[in-house]
Amino acid sequence: MEKKRKKRKKNTAFIGKRLHNYYGRTGFYLFVWESVKKAFLPIVLVVIGVFLFNKYVYDINEGLETITETFSKTGILITFFISETLLGLIPPEIFIAWSGKTESPIINLSILATLSYLGGLVSYFIGKTALKIKSLKEYLEVKMAANLKNTRKWGGFLILVGALLPLPFSIACLAAGMIKYPFRNVVFFGLFRFARFAAYAWAIFQVVD
């Protein structure tokens, strides 16, 4: 039994080492690092900008309360789901801030995270279906050439990056669908989307509280 456990551990370490070498060789780590660097400054600037805007220009809390009172919760959630399905047209941070001003912020934040996750899965099937429409297939292949290339190389880890970092999650899922990447892997790696929403909510709630 001990011998089998050691062998299994050794095999796992060997696979991990091979994956590490592969991702290092193909430039995945560099891609992630560059993405983090590009994302870090905008995030810091946005947080500072929101803080200054809230303090000297307009009370964001008042604006969010107005939105909450003016628009129905269902309408806001539907708009968010459509946005998260169609390439993340509206920054999810706006909706996260909105959830912080509702009567049940944690519940609404959880709904937003779930809708974002499901939007990514729908994008996967849109990408898969797009292959059957020649004109759309050719258009997307040109517009998303880099994403398709990266998804073919790195697969699930690109989904993970899209789920965690401020990169369009739906684009990563759309590309995965276009190359017919295994759906079960998209389902698994996409779960990290919930961690992103939790982390962003923690930061945003400090500003709009």
Instruction: Give, for all 209 residues of the chain, the pLDDT tens digit.
Output: 555 555 555 545 545 566 556 556 656 666 666 656 655 666 666 667 766 766 776 666 676 767 777 788 899 999 999 989 987 778 888 888 889 888 889 999 999 999 999 999 999 998 888 877 777 667 666 666 666 676 666 666 777 777 877 667 888 888 888 878 889 889 998 999 999 899 888 888 876 66
E strand or H helix at 38: helix 28-52
The size of the chain, in residues, is 209
Q: At what angle do helices 134-143 and 145-154 cross, to 10 degrees?
A: 80
pTM: 0.70
* Rounded (5°) CA angle 154-158-164: 155
* pLDDT score for 141: 67
pLDDT of residue 123: 92
- What is the spatial distance between Cα 61 and Cα 171, in angstroms, rounded to a whole number? 31
DSSP assignment, residue 86? T
- The Cα–Cα gap between 195 and 193 comes to 5
Which pLDDT score, from 0 to 100, does residue 14 have? 46
